[in-house]
Structure 1
Amino acid sequence: MKRVQYDRYGGPEEMYFGDYTPPPLERDQVRVKVKAVAINPLDWKLRRGAMKLIIGRAFPKGVGSDYAGTVEAVGEDVTNVHFGDDVFGTMDFKIAGAFAESIVVHSRYLTRKPERLSFSEAACLPIPATTAWAAIIDKAQVRSESRIFINGCSGAVGAFAVQLALARGAAVAGSCGKAAMPAAKATGVDPVFNYADSPSYREAGKFDAIFDTAGTMPVGEGISMLKRGGVFVDINPTPGRAIRGILSGRYKLAFATMGTEHLPEIAQLATEGVLRPNVGLEKPFSEALTAIADAESGFRGAGRLVLAL
């Protein structure tokens, strides 16, 4: 079978469709026939070598993390899904490779797909929703009457963060690009500000939490917008941002891996309509190389870019 892979770190030109045989199942693993995959910035960051000190230099390496499909086989110790179940999930980034016809993953990285969602919609959930969960629920501990500001409220992570915060009874303000402002306001973000007009949201009052999904808000600026005891949650740390934040004592990091254990709860919220994935564009798997390169170059549009198998 085929998968998208690469033989050395670099740009999109390093990707190709390669022959691939999934490894034998271990006791706690699941083999999934992939029906849809969603493209994430993580996919090209890994290929560029951003995590090469962790994932090493053994090639070829697969591309892709988030998928939805049907269970083809389960290991002896797997209890959360069964043969024939429709599922969605992600992969350990150290062995990425979801952009394939069939994959083998640890059972903790997937759960049953909500019936109300298509495979393409379900593939949009894993990394953005688990990241939003880690930030909003685990780190910011948003609850009823919390006031939160989400920088990047219209992006994949930001949109799920908005939905989670509103579901918990919080008041949500945020910023995004000018073109996305009406849609953000329609989802319940109020007030919503233009990214480019930072003075306006610095004067919007104090917040219990700032969630910077875009990595564009200076940490000091965010901390100045916090109430006493408030926290600044970041998912795009650089050494400078981390040092500045740690020194403040009000800085927290959130990563998708922190929320993976909550995939069943995320599936339930999607079933209830609380979490609503947005497929912006769907392309056939045969166009994966071009689609990934386009997304990497910024041609993504509104909603997620999904590849259907």
Structure 2
Amino acid sequence: MQFGRYGGPEEMSFGQHTLPKLAPGRIRVRVKAAAINPLDWKLRQGAMKVVTGWKFPQGMGSDFAGVVEEVGGGITYFRAGDKVFGTAEIRRQGAFAELVDADANLVIHKPASLSFSEAACIPIPAATAWAAIIGAAKAGPKSHIFINGCSGAVGSFAVQLARTYGARVSGSCGSSSTAAVKSAGVAPVFAYTDKAAISLNGPYDAVFDTLGTLPVSEGLKLLKPKGCFVDINPTPGRMLRGFVSGRYKLVFATTGFKDLPDISKIAAEGKLRSSIGLEVPFADALAAIKDAELGRRPAGRIVLLM
């Protein structure tokens, strides 16, 4: 899947592409499943032109799982036939394809207990949640963490990681997701608009805003004196307000990629589960991505099957 210029869903198309000779430090994977992330269409829209550049066509897709077909020079920990999962770099997308070349540092062996679809759902959301919950919030048995948007891909992984490390988790979500997040151990669960109750339930050791909808000033008021507000949706205004406070922590998925081995281990133990809402054949990828981008998507992740 590719696009010939930045823009909306109409710019996507299927195309033929010949991969270059495999460079040292990279591996070539025959994709079995690829999970759709909002990042995928945001890059196509041009959200990170400074990184993705102006050379077209560009491939689409980040998170994938599949079977190693070829390894580049200097790699000793993968070999052809290994089952793996991982993510493509932002500047070299291309997981929505039959084959993808990836930096070997962003790929890891797939646990036998996970399907290809389950593994493909892990990299970006789980690495983001890890960077926020384990890296920034430092979740532990004495922690009380509030997660704004606890039912989404990042939010659900954040809940599972926080609880795995012994933290108490409260959160907010849409009414249709309340029952599911309660069953995941979030207590209490609030509506986004129930600000007074959210405040009374605190103060919190950390507030993790997965959606970018909680004003930083409001989030900071929910914290204990040494608490932190964790953000993954930076805007100039949010960053300025946050950094002035000294309790604002901005994290990205890239911060958590180094912890993929630990993430994979927890997933293999059944403590980190992917919620898959829809699996579709790769031939239907154009419509699936367009629907997701326009908000017409089921609860849970959408996975393309190759």
Q: TM-score range by the shorter chain?
A: over 0.9
Determine whether 1:13 maps to 2:2.
no
Contact 1:23–1:104 at 8 Å: present in 2 too? Answer: no
* Selected match of 2:125 from 125, 128, 151: 128
* Structure-2 separation of matches of 1:81 and 1:200: 51
**Structure 2: how far apart are the matches of 1:14 and 1:215?**
27
Q: Which amino acid aligns with 1:300?
A: R
Is residue 259 from structure 1 mapped to residue 260 from structure 2 by the alignment? no
Aligned residue among 54, 60, 67 for 1:63 = 60
| SS of match in other structure, 2:15 | strand
Assess if the C-alpha contact under 8 Å between 2:171 and 2:187 holds in 1. Answer: yes
* 1:138-163 deviations in Å (ceiling 9; x for gaps): 11111111000000100000000000
Task: Report the Cα offset of residue 53 of structure 1.
Answer: 1.8
Equivalent positions of 1:217-256 (< 5 A) are: 217-256=214-253
Offset of 1:274 from its aligned partner? 0.8
Verify: 1:172 aligned to 2:162, yes or no: no
Query: What's the CA shift string for 1:105-127, capped at 9, x where partnerless?
Result: 11001101111111111100000
Q: How many Å separate the matches in 2 of 1:53 and 1:139?
A: 27
**What TM-score, normalized to structure 2?**
0.98
- The answer to whether the aligner puts 1:28 opposite 2:35 as a matched pair is no
- Looking at structure 2, the residues matched to 240 and 204 of structure 1 have their Cα atoms a distance apart, in angstroms, of 27
Equivalent residue for 1:202, pick from 199, 202, 213:
199
Letter in 1 for 2:226: G
1:273-301 Cα deviation digits (max 9, x unpaired): 11101111000000010000000001122
1:198-242 Cα shifts (integer Å, max 9, x gaps): 222122120000000011101011000000110000000111111
Where in structure 2 are the equivalents of 1:211-222 lying within 5 Å?
A: 211-222=208-219
Aligned residue runs from structure 1 range 104-143, under 5 A: 104-143=101-140
Structure 2 CA distance, aligned partners of 1:241 and 1:131? 18
> 1:149 touches 1:172 (CA, 8 Å); kept in 2?
yes
User: Is contact 2:51–2:90 with CA below 8 Å preserved after alignment?
Assistant: no
> 1-side partners of 2:77 and 2:182: how far apart?
38
Please give the TM-score of this superposition, normalised by the length of structure 1.
Answer: 0.98
Contact 1:54 1:94 in 2 (8 A): yes
Q: In the alignment, is the contact (CA less than 8 A) between 2:25 and 2:74 conserved in 1?
A: yes
Q: Does the CA contact (< 8 Å) of 1:178 and 1:195 recur in 2? A: no
Which residue in 2 is equivalent to 1:277?
A: 274
**1:286 correspondence with 2:283:** yes
Q: CA deviation at 1:52?
A: 0.6
Could you say what secondary structure the match of 2:181 adopts? Answer: helix
- Contact map agreement 1:80 1:107 (CA 8 A) in 2: no
Distance of 1:127 and 1:54 partners within structure 2: 17
d(CA) in 1 for partners of 2:41 and 2:226?
36
The answer for unaligned runs of 5 or more in structure 1 is none
**Does the CA-based 8 Å contact 2:130-2:158 persist in structure 1?**
yes
CA distance in structure 1 between the aligned counterparts of 2:195 and 2:201, rounded to whole angstroms? 10
Q: 1:80, CA displacement in angstroms?
A: 2.8
Letter matched to residue 16 of structure 2 = D
- Structure 2 residue runs without a partner (length 5+): none
Aligned to 2:144: 147
Q: Distance in 2 between matches of 1:224 and 1:79?
A: 50
Identity %: 58
Q: For residue 41 of structure 2, what is the aligned residue in structure 1?
A: 44
Aligned partners of 2:293 and 2:193: how far apart in 1? 22
CA distance in 1, matches of 2:18, 2:132: 36
**Partner amino acid for 2:104?**
S
Match of 2:265 among 264, 268, 284: 268
Aligned residues: 306
Alignment counterpart, residue 189 of structure 1, candidates 186, 198, 206: 186
Aligned mate of 1:101, from 93, 98, 101:
98
In the TM superposition, what are the counterparts of 1:70-89 in structure 2 within 5 Å? 70-89=67-86
